[in-house]
Amino acid sequence: MSCPALPEGFDFTDPDLLQARVPLPEFAELRRAEPVRWVPQSGNIAGFQDEGYWAVTRHADVKYVSTHPELFSSYLNTAIIRFNEHIERDAIDAQRLILLNMDPPEHTRVRQIVQRVFTPRAIRALEERLRNRAHAIAQEARAHPGPFDFVTEVACELPLQAIAELIGIPQDDRTKIFDWSNKMISYDDPEYAITEEVGAESATELIAYAMNMAADRKQCPAKDIVTTLVAAEDEGNLNSDEFGFFVLMLAVAGNETTRNAITHGMHAFLTHPEQWELYKRERPETAAEEIVRWATPVNSFQRTATQDTELGGKLIRKGDRVGIFYASANHDPDVFTDPDTFDITRDPNPHLGFGGGGPHYCLGKSLAVLEIDLIFNAIADALPNLTLSGDPSRLRSAWINGVKHLQVQAG
């Protein structure tokens, strides 16, 4: 049965779709009528290439695809990051060094190594410094006499500082690292006037910086995380190339995602004042997960079928692209009671904002949850009467559910 509600030519990867309509009402139609649907496509938008892709919209199916890497490979274009020719390697080779684009057994090997960075102990060790940062950010914002941009003044900094702390980037280098990270992820939107070339150059410079760091620690081992990852050149460690791309991956995966979760969370609180009052009073631990469900900063990822297989009553052929839409799964009424209600006490909350639970499940989840907790605690202390001064201005992207600006006032 074909879903009658989708007009001819409708495409979930159209970057203009997410401008104002989140969650997309079309997802609800598809979940009900045709949860696995072939969407024909022309051109190459958001990395979805060829003649079309399967749109997978139900929670259970998104989980199934995510947890069966032997059927649905990440090898082809799961995450496209552009590089320029100075990277001195074939661009396709470069994509292979990105964790998100790897399949087992290569993925298993690299993931086991980089997991060392994200142990509960390593995250706990950052907590105090990040708490202080969060409070300083909120205090500075409080000093604004008039309206200010929540994105640049509050949401931006903590995610970047968290990655810098995690890797041990010296304080003096942070400004340039932040600048490269921001340029790398901003060129899709015309407002930033950053060309694709500048974005690619920034990625290349960040990788070169990280590779230098690795080379340095190999010569002079220190008691830090870089040394832990690269010290010995063997199977159990990262080589310098792999380390360079790992840092790039963190800058892409851990930066804009968390910034958008924080901004969407603030907007959700200010448009649901009873939830903000509840938060300020009780600070429930469940809030961060609901913010990520509500925000779903990563709208979708894609996989490629490795063999003919059936899903949702449809025959998916080897080589077909499969788009897994977390933004739809997170509003699936088969899983969530009142899915379109923002409820910070929701428990359990098996949302797929951090992925569908397979081998690529978000490596930085506990860090992201900590950051969201810390910043909202700080805002509740320093800016309890924050008010909205305008509508959010959205990022033009099909992949990231992003907010560029959100005007607020300390109140």
Footprint on this chain of ligand HEM (rule: CB under 6 A): 66, 99-100, 111, 163, 249-250, 253-254, 257-258, 261, 292, 297-298, 301, 326, 353-356, 358, 360-364, 367-368
Of residues 36 and 410, the one with the C-beta less far from ligand HEM = 36
At its nearest, how many Å lie between ligand HEM and the CB of residue 16? Answer: 22
At its nearest, how many Å lie between ligand HEM and the CB of residue 39? Answer: 20
Closest CA to 225 of 125, 134, 130: 125
- The three-state secondary structure class of 404 is strand
Closest CA to 265 of 401, 161, 127, 173: 401
Of residues 199 and 353, the one with the C-beta less far from ligand HEM = 353
At its nearest, how many Å lie between ligand HEM and the CB of residue 117? Answer: 8
At its nearest, how many Å lie between ligand HEM and the CB of residue 364? Answer: 2
Of residues 154 and 249, the one with the C-beta less far from ligand HEM = 249
- How many CA within 13 A on the CB side of residue 55? 27
Of residues 292 and 383, the one with the C-beta less far from ligand HEM = 292
Q: How many angstroms separate the CA atoms of 154 and 45, rounded?
A: 31
At its nearest, how many Å lie between ligand HEM and the CB of residue 288? Answer: 9
For 287-315, letters b (16+ CB in 10 Å) and e give: bbbbbbbbbbbbbbbbbbbbeebebbebe
Of residues 339 and 356, the one with the C-beta less far from ligand HEM = 356
Q: How many angstroms separate the CA atoms of 379 and 386, rounded?
A: 9
Phi first, then psi, for residue 159 (nearest 5°) are -60, -40
Q: How many angstroms separate the CA atoms of 259 and 43, rounded?
A: 30
At its nearest, how many Å lie between ligand HEM and the CB of residue 216? Answer: 22
At its nearest, how many Å lie between ligand HEM and the CB of residue 44? Answer: 20
Residue nearest to ligand HEM (CB): 364
CA quadruple 274, 278, 280, 284: dihedral positive or negative? negative
Q: How many angstroms separate the CA atoms of 39 and 36, rounded?
A: 10
- One-letter amino acid of 384: P
Of residues 159 and 199, the one with the C-beta less far from ligand HEM = 159
Of residues 249 and 383, the one with the C-beta less far from ligand HEM = 249
- One-letter amino acid of 377: N
Q: Map tokens 């779903």 to a residue.
A: 296
- One-letter amino acid of 311: L
Of residues 54 and 326, the one with the C-beta less far from ligand HEM = 326
Phi first, then psi, for residue 3 (nearest 5°) are -80, 115
Alpha helices in 272-320 (DSSP H): 273-282, 287-295
Of residues 78 and 202, the one with the C-beta less far from ligand HEM = 78
Closest CA to 374 of 26, 33, 127: 127
Beta bridge partners of 309: 316
Of residues 177 and 367, the one with the C-beta less far from ligand HEM = 367
At its nearest, how many Å lie between ligand HEM and the CB of residue 251? Answer: 8
DSSP one-letter string for 35-55: SEEEEE--S-BTTB-TTEEEE
At its nearest, how many Å lie between ligand HEM and the CB of residue 354? Answer: 5
At its nearest, how many Å lie between ligand HEM and the CB of residue 211? Answer: 18
By CB atoms closer than 10 A (0-12, 13-18, 19+), residue 326 is buried
Q: Token digits for 26?
A: 């079309």
